[in-house]
Amino acid sequence: MPIDRRQFVAGSIAAAGLSAFPSLLSAAIKPAKKKLNILFLGGTGFLGPHTVQYAIDRGHKVTLFNRGRTNKDMFPELEKIVGDRDPKKGKGLSGLKGRQWDAVIDTSGYVPRIVGASSALLSDNAKQYLFVSTICTYDNWAEGGNFRDEKSPRAKLEDPTTEDVSQHYCALKGYCEMAADKAMPGRVTHIRPGLIVGPRDKTDRFTYWPVRFSKGGEILAPGKPKDLTQFIDVRDLAQFMVHTIEQNLTGEYNLVRPSMPFGDLVESCMKVAPEGTKVTWVPNDFMQKNDVQPWRDVFMWADSESAGAGALTWSSEKAIKNGLTFRPVDDTVKATVEWFQSLPEKRQTKLRAGMSMEKELKVLNAWREHNKNKS
C-alpha cells in the first residue's frame, strides 16, 4: 500500500492543535548576534511552541497572533494579539495594522486566500515572510525527491479556489506559497518539511515506536531492516527556521533528515527498551495477508519495493548547505519517550497510531506458526 496524500494529510492536520506541555528545547543556546522583532501567526500548536521558544532563547522579541483559543496560557510573558487569520471573521487581521516586524513566521496557513491576506497586509510592515509548507506539495510527491530539487513542479488543483483542506492539504500549501510570493516577491522563505516528529507530536506516528519499545516484550518490526524511513525532528526544524530569519535566507527548502534504514531506527529504540526486549521482523507480504497495513498499523515505514517507498527518499541538500543540522536519532527517541511519559495518565493509556498490542501479538503468533509449518 503506497503512502498517499490523504494519509500524510491526516497526520499533518492532526498535528496542528495540541495541549500545552513544557518546552523540551535545550537551555544552553547561544544568543543571536542581532536581536530581531518576530511576529508568529499561530505559535501554540506543535511546531510553533518549539520555534517560539528557540527564538526567545536566541534573544529575539516575539509577538504571537492567533485566536487565543488553543493553549492561551502558553508564553505568558509575550505580547499576544488576538484576531483571526480569516479577515472575514471576528477582528480579522486588524490588530496587525500599523505595526513593524523584521520577520513573520506563518505556521498556521492552509488556504491561499488567508495566506494572501496576511502576507499582503504585512508586505509593507515586515522584511521577510517565512511560510511553513509541506514536502507533499510537489506533483507526484510519493515518487521521491533524491533526483529532484526544490524547483520541481508543485501539485495543481482543478479548482484553485477550493478551501477543502482535508482533501487538498498538500496542493493548497503550494497555492499558499504562491499567494505569499505574489504579496512579497523575493522576500518569502518556504519551508517544506517531511514527517515532523518528536516531543509534542500528538499524532503518535513516530511516537508509537519509542513508546512501544519502552514497554518491552516481543515487538513486531515491519518488512526488512534495510527498508527506509525519513523524518525531521521538530527541534531541528525549529532551529533552521529561526536560522533562515537570522540569515535572511529566502526561497524554498526541503526539510527532512537523510533517509535511513528502518533497522537503524529500531536500534535507537532498543536503547530505551528494558532488558529482554526482542525484535521480530515480519515480511511485508505476510503482514498484508494478516491485515497489517502501512500508514494504518505501522507508521514511518514503507516496503522498499512498494510504489510509496519514494515518499521517504527526499533530499534536503540545499537546506544542509545553508545550515540545517540534525541531532542524533537516539536523542529524538529518548526525548519523545520522556515527553510522552510526562503526559497525563489517561493520554498514555492508548496510542493514537500503530497496532494495539493485542493485534501485534496475534500477528506474531501467526508468524511463528507459519515458520513452524515450514520447518
Tens of pLDDT, residue by residue over 279-292, are: 999 999 999 999 99
Output the nine-digit C-alpha cell for 190: 518556504
Tens of pLDDT, residue by residue over 47-105, are: 999 999 999 999 999 999 998 888 888 999 999 999 999 999 989 999 999 999 999 99
Nearest to 136 by CA among 122, 118, 152, 119: 152
What's the pLDDT score for residue 21? 37
Residue corresponding to grid cell 515586515 = 126
What's the pLDDT score for residue 20? 36
Report the C-alpha gap between 97 and 189 in whole angstroms.
22
Structural domains of the chain ordered from first start: 5-199+230-255 (3.40.50.720), 208-227+260-307+328-374 (no CATH)
Output the nine-digit C-alpha cell for 334: 529518548
Report the C-alpha gap between 149 and 156 in whole angstroms.
18
Which pTM was predicted? Answer: 0.92
* Average pLDDT for 112-130: 97
What's the pLDDT score for residue 375? 67
Tens of pLDDT, residue by residue over 284-323, are: 999 999 999 999 999 999 998 887 788 999 999 999 999 9
Tens of pLDDT, residue by residue over 146-157, are: 777 898 999 999
